[in-house]
C-alpha cells in the first residue's frame, strides 16, 4: 500500500472560483474591477514540458535527493518575492474597460506561464498602463491597494489552479481531448506551489492577530497546506512513475478490521481499471462520518470525490464496488472539465454535454431522486456500467434497486460508447 506524504485532517474544500469574489482588483484611483476572464484557445498544444522559462520573475530552486521528490524541491527563500511586474499595456482596454483580470492575456508560450494564475493587477488611468501582479509580487506592505487577505488568496488560487488543472481551457476546448491530456506536474510547478505556500505562511506571520482578516488568512494558510499536499501527491506519483494512488486515513480515523476491509475493496475495485485512469487519482482516503461533505440535497452520503482527483470513503460503512465505481465516475467527469474561463464556475464536461443531457432527460430526471442532477446521474450511470463491465454485477444486486442500467437503454448505449472512446 502506498502512503500519502502525510496524514491530514480533512478541511472543507473551497472551490477556486467561489473564492474569486473575495478579491477585487484595485487601481491607484481606487476603482474596482470584477474578476471575469475570457477563455483563450490560442495556446500551442506542443509546449515543451522540459522548458522551465517564464515571462514572469520566478523563484529559484534546486533539486536534491530526498525520500519523496516533492521534498527534494528546495526553494531559495531569498527569491520568494519580487517587485518586477509584467506589463500588459497592449491589453489595457480589454482588461480595464471590460473588467477582466489578466490571465487570458498573459503570455502562455511556456508551461510555467500557462499554469501561473494571476488575478490582481494595477492600472494607471492617465498612462493607460496595466501591471500584472503574479503570486511572486504579492508581498505584504508592498501595495497600498491590497490587504493581506487578498495577497494570501492570490497565492492560494495559484496552487488550486494548478492542482485542479483549470489551465486546460487554454489547451483545448474539447472535453475528450481534455480527458486525454497528460498529467502536468513539473519540478518548476512544484517549486511555484511550494513558494505559494511559503508566501502565505509569511503573510500570516506579518499579519497582526488583531487584524479583522487574521482568522480568514489563517484559514487560507490551512487550505494552502491541504492544496499543497494534493499537488505534491500528484507530483510524486509522476516523478516516481507510479500508477497507483496514495492511500491513507484521516487524523480522526483509527485503523480497524473495517478500514482494512474498505481498503481491500478499493484495491480490488481498482485492479481492472486501466492505468491511464489510475494515474489521474492522487489520493484515496478513509474519513470519519463528520468529515463527509454535505450532499446537494442534504441526504446521507458515504463517499465523495474532489476536483483535485481524490476519493474519500467513510470509515463506518462497508464499501461496495457499486459505490466505488460511482465515485470513480466523478473522477472521469472531473478529468474532462474545461472551464469557460479561468475564474468562472461554468464549465463543460461529460456530465453536461449535449449527448448526456439527452440521456439524463429521458432516463434520470426523476423528481426527488438523489440522481436528479447531471453530475450525480452521470456518476451513477458510469458506476452501473463499470460494475457490470468490470465485475459482472448489477446495481440491483448490490442494493441500488432501480438505479442501474435496467430500463435505461440510452444510458447503457452512452456508456458503452464512452468506455470505447476513453479506452476504459
Q: Looking at the chain, which residues constitute the CATH 3.40.390 domain(s)?
A: 246-422
Helices 187-205, 148-163: inter-axial angle, 10-degree rounding? 160
Beta-strand pair 310-314/283-287: parallel
Length of the chain: 424
The tens-digit pLDDT sequence of the chain (424 residues) is 443 433 333 332 222 222 222 232 332 222 222 222 233 333 444 677 778 889 999 999 999 999 999 999 999 999 999 999 999 988 888 888 877 778 989 999 899 999 999 989 998 888 888 999 999 999 999 888 899 999 999 999 999 999 999 999 899 999 999 999 988 899 999 999 999 999 999 999 999 999 999 999 999 999 999 999 999 999 999 999 999 999 999 999 999 999 999 999 999 999 999 999 999 999 999 999 988 876 655 567 889 999 999 999 999 999 999 999 999 999 999 999 999 877 778 899 999 999 999 999 999 999 889 999 999 999 999 999 999 999 999 999 988 889 999 999 999 999 999 999 999 9
Residue tagged 526553494 (cell numbers): 75
* DSSP H stretches of helix in 164-213: 175-180, 187-205
Query: 3-class SS at 198?
Result: helix
- In terms of CATH architecture, what is 246-422? 3-Layer(aba) Sandwich (3.40)
**What are the CA-CA distances from residue 130 to residues 13, 43, 413 (Å)?**
33, 22, 52
CB–CB of 360/391 below 8 Å?
no
Residue tagged 460503512 (cell numbers): 317
Q: Whole-prediction pTM value?
A: 0.86
Using CB atoms within 10 Å of the CB of residue 249, give its burial: 0 to 12 exposed, 13 to 18 middle, 19+ buried.
buried
Looking at the chain, the number of H-run helices and the number of E-run strands are 13, 13
Amino acid at each position: 500500500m502506498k502512503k500519502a506524504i502525510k496524514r491530514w485532517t480533512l478541511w472543507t474544500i473551497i472551490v477556486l472560483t467561489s473564492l474569486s469574489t473575495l478579491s477585487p482588483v484595485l487601481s491607484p484611483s481606487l476603482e474596482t474591477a470584477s474578476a471575469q476572464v475570457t477563455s483563450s484557445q490560442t495556446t500551442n498544444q506542443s509546449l515543451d514540458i522540459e522548458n522551465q522559462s517564464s515571462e514572469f520573475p520566478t523563484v529559484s530552486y534546486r533539486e536534491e535527493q530526498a525520500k519523496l521528490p516533492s521534498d527534494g524541491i528546495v526553494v531559495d527563500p531569498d527569491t520568494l518575492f519580487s517587485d518586477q511586474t509584467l506589463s500588459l499595456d497592449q491589453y489595457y482596454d480589454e482588461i480595464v474597460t471590460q473588467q477582466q483580470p489578466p490571465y487570458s492575456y498573459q503570455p502562455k508560450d511556456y508551461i510555467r506561464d500557462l499554469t501561473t494564475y494571476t488575478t490582481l493587477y494595477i492600472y494607471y488611468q492617465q498612462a493607460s498602463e496595466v501591471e500584472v501582479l503574479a503570486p511572486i509580487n504579492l508581498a505584504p506592505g508592498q501595495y497600498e491597494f491590497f490587504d493581506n487577505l487578498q495577497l494570501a488568496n492570490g497565492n492560494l488560487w495559484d496552487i488550486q489552479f494548478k492542482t485542479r488543472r483549470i489551465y486546460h481551457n487554454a489547451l483545448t476546448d474539447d472535453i475528450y481531448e481534455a480527458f486525454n491530456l497528460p498529467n502536468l506536474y513539473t519540478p518548476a510547478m512544484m517549486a511555484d506551489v511550494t513558494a505559494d505556500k511559503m508566501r502565505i505562511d509569511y503573510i500570516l506571520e506579518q499579519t497582526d492577530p488583531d487584524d479583522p482578516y487574521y482568522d480568514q488568512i489563517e484559514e487560507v494558510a490551512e487550505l494552502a497546506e491541504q492544496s499543497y499536499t494534493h499537488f505534491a501527491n500528484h507530483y510524486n506519483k509522476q516523478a516516481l512513475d507510479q500508477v497507483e494512488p496514495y492511500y491513507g486515513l484521516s487524523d480522526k480515523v483509527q485503523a480497524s478490521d473495517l478500514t482494512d476491509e474498505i481498503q481491500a475493496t478499493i484495491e480490488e475495485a481498482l485492479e481492472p481499471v486501466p492505468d491511464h485512469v489510475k494515474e489521474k487519482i492522487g489520493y484515496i482516503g478513509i474519513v470519519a462520518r463528520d468529515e463527509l461533505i454535505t450532499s446537494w440535497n442534504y441526504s446521507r452520503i458515504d463517499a465523495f470525490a474532489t476536483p483535485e482527483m481524490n476519493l474519500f470513503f467513510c470509515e463506518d460503512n462497508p464499501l461496495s464496488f457499486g459505490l466505488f465505481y460511482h465515485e470513480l465516475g466523478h473522477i472521469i467527469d472531473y478529468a474532462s472539465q474545461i472551464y469557460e474561463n479561468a475564474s468562472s464556475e461554468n464549465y463543460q464536461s461529460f456530465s453536461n454535454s449535449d449527448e448526456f443531457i439527452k440521456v439524463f432527460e429521458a432516463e434520470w430526471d426523476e423528481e426527488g431522486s438523489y440522481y436528479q442532477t447531471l453530475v450525480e446521474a452521470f456518476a451513477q450511470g458510469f458506476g452501473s456500467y463499470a460494475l457490470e463491465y468490470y465485475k459482472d454485477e448489477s446495481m440491483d444486486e448490490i442494493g441500488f434497486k432501480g438505479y442501474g442500467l435496467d430500463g435505461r437503454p440510452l444510458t447503457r448505449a452512452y456508456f458503452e460508447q464512452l468506455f470505447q472512446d476513453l479506452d476504459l
